[in-house]
């Protein structure tokens, strides 16, 4: 009887230890919050905002003041930043949604750049619309990155 | 015999499950406002963008073919916003799952400490 009980307790203890080792592994559904990426998101968002505001306030459509070539270098610099952001997001596991948001931003950036190049000018209205679009997309990206902090914070 | 039986009875699965459910409820409740405020902000921003699109169409800045193209872009923006909400929801689910497992971990560890 004593031996049976000992064996029973030993089995239970083994089961508990095995369970404990499994439970001690944490569930991971999203990539951890990355402060470096968050800072790059903020910097790139500010750069794009400054780009469109400078174009709106500092130039006019008259006399080819908004010719594509005048802004080409800035377009390239910002595209480089967006590419870098995309790569950083893509290489992280469990980060497909953040990478997709970044892909969408890059896709629209290239589209609006191509439109500017095609028409070789940009009206005040379209500058405002592009600026608003990127502000809103970057807000989504910032909210997503900030949201990851919820998972990182230890349970109360 | 008399020393082992009371110890094992301390492993009350109903109490542990209650603790796990409460941990999940607490995490979801604490973070639900985050999802709500972000979603509301997305809706407000969408409203403002659509108003701007309408205004630019009326002023002639946005001819019909360009308007159609911009409305296609709205689908992409919506997709980006839904991805953001998905990330926040997954982060809450992750925290809730880990909080529940933490309750179970502590309960099992307590039993092991007693048995050992």
- Residue A108's closest chain B neighbor by CA? B73
Question: A153: alpha, beta or left, given left = phi > 0 and alpha = psi -120 to 50?
Answer: beta
Give the one of B83, B104, B116 whose C-beta lies nearest to A144's C-beta: B83
At A75 the pLDDT is: 98
* Residue B5 resides in a domain: no
A16 and B108 within 8 Å at the Cβ level: the answer is yes
* Residue A24 resides in a domain: no
Degrees, nearest 5: CA angle A61-A66-A72 = 170
pLDDT in tens, B31-69: 888 899 999 999 999 999 999 999 999 999 999 989 999
Q: Quote the percentage of chain A above a pLDDT of 70.
A: 95
* Residue A7 resides in a domain: no
Query: Could you tell me the pTM of the whole model?
Result: 0.86
Mutation for testing the B interface, residue in A151, A152, A153, A156 having most B CBs under 10 Å: A151
Give the one of B1, B87, B111 whose C-beta lies nearest to A30's C-beta: B87
Q: How far is A1 from chain B (nearest CA, A)?
A: 9
Q: Which two tokens stand for residue B32?
A: 């639900």
Answer whether residue A90 shows pLDDT above 90: yes
Orientation angle between helical segments A35-58 and A124-152, nearest 10 degrees = 170
Size of interface A-B (CB pairs under 8 A): 145
* Residue B116 resides in a domain: no
Taking a C-beta distance cutoff of 8 angstroms, is the pair B105, A17 a contact? no
Taking a C-beta distance cutoff of 8 angstroms, is the pair B26, A156 a contact? yes
* Residue B33 resides in a domain: yes
How far lies A88's CA from each of A26, A76, A95, in Å? 24, 18, 10
Rounded Cα distance between B116 and B96, Å, is 30
B77 and A97 within 8 Å at the Cβ level: the answer is no
Answer whether residue A50 shows pLDDT above 50: yes
* Residue B103 resides in a domain: yes
Give the one of B77, B101, B105 whose C-beta lies nearest to A136's C-beta: B77
Residues of B in Cβ contact (< 8 Å) with A137: 77, 80
Taking a C-beta distance cutoff of 8 angstroms, is the pair B88, A150 a contact? yes
Answer whether residue B8 shows pLDDT above 70: no
Answer whether residue A72 shows pLDDT above 50: yes
Alpha helices in chain A (DSSP H): 2-23, 35-58, 72-90, 96-119, 124-152
Cβ of A4: how many Cβ atoms within 10 Å?
8
* Residue A78 resides in a domain: yes
Based on the structure, what is the number of domains in chain B?
1
Rounded Cα distance between B8 and A15, Å, is 13
B83 and A129 within 8 Å at the Cβ level: the answer is no
Among candidates A138, A109, A130, A144, which has minimal Cα distance to A42? A138
Answer whether residue B1 shows pLDDT above 70: no
Taking a C-beta distance cutoff of 8 angstroms, is the pair B62, A156 a contact? no
Answer whether residue B9 shows pLDDT above 60: no
pLDDT in tens, A16-48: 777 777 666 788 999 999 999 999 999 999 999
* Residue A10 resides in a domain: no
Q: How far is A89 from chain B (nearest CA, A)?
A: 13
Based on the structure, what is the number of domains in chain A?
1
B90 near A CB under 8 A: yes
Residue that wins the pLDDT comparison between B95 and B12: B95
Name, of A66-80, B19-33, B58-72, the range with top average pLDDT.
A66-80
At B11 the pLDDT is: 64
């Amino acid at each position: 009887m004593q031996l049976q009980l000992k064996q029973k307790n030993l089995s239970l203890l083994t089961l508990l230890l095995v369970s404990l080792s499994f439970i001690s592994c944490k569930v991971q559904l999203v990539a951890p919050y990355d402060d470096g990426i968050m800072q790059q998101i903020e910097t790139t968002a500010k750069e794009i905002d400054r780009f469109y505001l400078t174009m709106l306030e500092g130039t006019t459509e008259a006399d080819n003041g908004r010719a594509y070539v005048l802004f080409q270098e800035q377009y390239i610099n910002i595209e480089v930043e967006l590419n870098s952001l995309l790569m950083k997001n893509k290489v992280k596991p469990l980060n497909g949604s953040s990478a997709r948001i970044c892909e969408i931003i890059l896709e629209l950036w290239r589209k609006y750049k191509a439109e500017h190049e095609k028409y070789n000018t940009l009206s005040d209205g379209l500058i405002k619309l592009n600026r608003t679009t990127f502000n809103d997309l970057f807000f989504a990206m910032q909210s997503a990155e900030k949201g990851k902090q919820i998972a990182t914070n230890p349970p109360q | 015999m008399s020393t082992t039986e009371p110890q094992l009875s301390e492993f009350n699965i109903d109490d542990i499950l209650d603790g796990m459910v409460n941990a999940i409820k607490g995490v979801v409740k604490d973070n639900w406002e985050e999802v709500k405020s972000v979603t509301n902000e997305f809706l407000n921003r969408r409203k403002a963008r659509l108003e701007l699109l309408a205004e630019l169409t009326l002023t002639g800045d946005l001819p019909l073919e360009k308007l159609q193209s911009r409305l296609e872009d709205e689908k992409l923006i919506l997709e980006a916003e839904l991805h953001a909400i998905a990330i926040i929801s997954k982060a809450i689910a992750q925290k809730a799952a880990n909080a529940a497992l933490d309750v179970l971990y502590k309960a099992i560890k307590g039993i092991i400490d007693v048995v050992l």
